[in-house]
Structure 1
Amino acid sequence: MTAWRLAVPVLLAAAMASPATGAQRDVDVDWRKVATKQDRERLRGWRDAWIEALGKVRTTRDGAAALAQDAALFDPDRLIQGAALTPGSYRCRMYRLGGVGAGARVLLSGGWAGCRVTENGLVRRFVTDGAQRASGNLFDSTDSRTVFLGTLALGDEDRPMRYGRDARRDMAGLVERIGPDRWRMVLPFPGFQSTLDVMEIVRG
């Protein structure tokens, strides 16, 4: 495994908190102090997740063709420095690579949904719409990667649960720019369905 250490962020980080309160919570400048042990380990294993997931997808002709059709999205080493996500509206869709369990599909893709970034002081949040909704905070890490820590909301749940309460619902990812007005969020070893989730993010 090629080791890659996430740099200590120097700007824009926030302790995970329920968005329901209007008060500004204490802000932490180090995502490691916010992340659970499980999520620190998942982020350290980002490349292992890529290798394992891509290996599974390439076992089928359709999977290999899908990877080749969008090489920029599915190349683990593809990233462009600078231009992190800024406040505004975006469109997102999720790809689930390397299905887990008997009979699981090696590649699943979802439809486009709305997503957005908001900023309140030092707190920058990322939220998606749809039946399965990601909600959490963005932490500056390096010139080319941002850390996302959040939770998954399902169905008609009207608010996301607090980060750290349910390990399967917790989400930990790396946001990378891969093209003009195009990003991806890489979520290694998620709690459900797959070995690696890749969320494509484009301007709304």
Structure 2
Amino acid sequence: MKILAPLLIVALAGCATTPAAPPTTDWRSVATSNDRERLRQWRDAFTDALAKARAAGHATEVAKEGALLVPDAAIGSGPIPSGDYRCRVIKVGAKTLGQLDYIAYPAFRCRIETAGALQRFTKLTGSQRHVGTIYPADQLRQLFLGTLVLGDETRALEYGVDRERDLAGWVERIGERRWRLLLPYPQFESTIDVIELVPEA
């Protein structure tokens, strides 16, 4: 026993100093199968939602938003800068009968922070608050995986725990100091949610 005890201490010390594996930067290894499907279908969601909005009499509002509501408006140029943003949510295309086909909310406050090789996105205000991770994707865009915080909740669920709360979308630059987050087929209300992101002055 006297010999085993020092060996056990050494073994435990070795375990304690082993560094944790860094978080993966490959979103494909994190995204659920349901969200990978939603991400593949983003353009169908966008065009279907716009058709519903225009048919419901919102063609003028859609046109006024310019590149924000043009499916293929992404212009690339690297990751979205970290910082504080004004984020405006537009819900397009009713998910079920009786809901509105176009709702544009006033600007809320959002923040993007650097987290190692990744970024964290947090919608700071509003009754529906998006929280999650931004991953590298391709030359035109980044990939967001997160969850929805509702009402007076103070803590977000981990991504993948509750399918009803999971969010998946594309982060794209669409102009000078202007980005958007596209969330196809969210669980609630709309066919696509479009979040405009403009850096705070």
Sequence identity (%)? 43
Tell me how far apart the structure 2 counterparts of residues 156 and 24 of structure 1 sit (CA, whole Å). Answer: 33
Deviation, 1:159, is 0.9
Normalising to structure 2: TM-score of the pair? 0.86
Aligned pairs (5 A) from 1:98-177: 98-130=93-125, 131-177=127-173
Structure with the larger helix share: 2
Tell me how far apart the structure 2 counterparts of residues 202 and 29 of structure 1 sit (CA, whole Å). Answer: 25
1:66 aligns with 61
Deviation, 1:177, is 0.4
Contact kept in structure 2, 1:84 and 1:144, CA below 8 Å: no
Structure 1 moving runs of 4+ over 4 Å? none
1:82 aligns with 77
Tell me how far apart the structure 1 counterparts of residues 56 and 105 of structure 2 sit (CA, whole Å). Answer: 19
Q: What's the CA shift string for 1:128-179, capped at 9, x where partnerless?
A: 1222110000001112100000000011111101101111110000011011
The answer for unaligned runs of 5 or more in structure 2 is 1-18
Deviation, 1:25, is 6.3
* Counterpart secondary structure, 2:61: helix
Tell me how far apart the structure 2 counterparts of residues 54 and 141 of structure 1 sit (CA, whole Å). Answer: 25
Letter aligned with residue 122 of structure 1: A
Contact kept in structure 2, 1:39 and 1:172, CA below 8 Å: yes
Aligned residues: 181
The answer for unaligned runs of 5 or more in structure 1 is 1-22
1:31 to 23, 27, 33: 27
Contact kept in structure 2, 1:49 and 1:196, CA below 8 Å: yes
Deviation, 1:121, is 1.8
